[in-house]
Amino acid sequence: MYDYFEEKKAEKKALGAAGRKALKAEKDKAEEKYLYCYLDGRKEKVGNFRVEPPGLFRGRGEHPKTGMVKARVQPEQVTINIGKGATVPAPPPGHSWADVIHDNTVTWLATWKENINGNIKYVMLAATSSLKGMSDFKKFEKARELKVRALIPTFQPFHQNTTNSTSESHRSYPRGLYTRAQI
């Protein structure tokens, strides 16, 4: 097996830059249909559309299950989450999906259970998708709102002390703080 992979590596190296570029273009063309999905009519990028290949489980550190065989995920283990009007992708010949559901309350597109730890794995939208972006936007808006609320109690007594000041710079300072808090 080692010799086989070394031979493949040598063949790839012998191709040259143009050959490798052509292989990459061919691979990208084959993957194109898996890179995007439609969410509420918008084209969104899919994050991790690849299923982990079979092999030996490595784990991290001194994991007790290191060396166990990770089985190949079969289509019969995969649940697809797709819109009601959408065309269900065809499983590989001779196979069928575990289930096809139409749940618009979750953000995953497909799920399966891996055999080593029994963890449930998901195919999700990319971090750059509008759904994830909206979630981040709401978090930042909430943080900004809390920041403003935290500034107001410290700002009000300072403002009351400076409004009667004879110096213009002292009177304008609270306006600057207030404006800064609004940004």
What is the residue-wise DSSP string for 83-146?
A: -TTSPPPPPSTT---SEEE--TTS-EEEEEE-TTT--EEEEEB-TTSHHHHHHHHHHHHHHHHH
- 42 pLDDT more than 90: no
Residue of higher predicted confidence among 114 and 142: 114
Q: Which residues contact 70 (CB under 8 A, 6 or more apart)?
A: 52, 53, 54, 55, 56, 57, 114, 115, 116
Indicate the pLDDT class of residue 136, thresholds 50, 70 and 90. Answer: confident
pLDDT for residue 76:
94
CA geometry: angle 46, 141, 152, nearest 5 deg: 165
- The string of pLDDT tens digits covering residues 64-87 is 888 888 889 999 999 999 988 888
Predicted confidence (pLDDT) per residue in 81-120, tens digit:
998 888 888 899 999 999 999 988 888 899 999 888 888 9
* pTM confidence score: 0.62
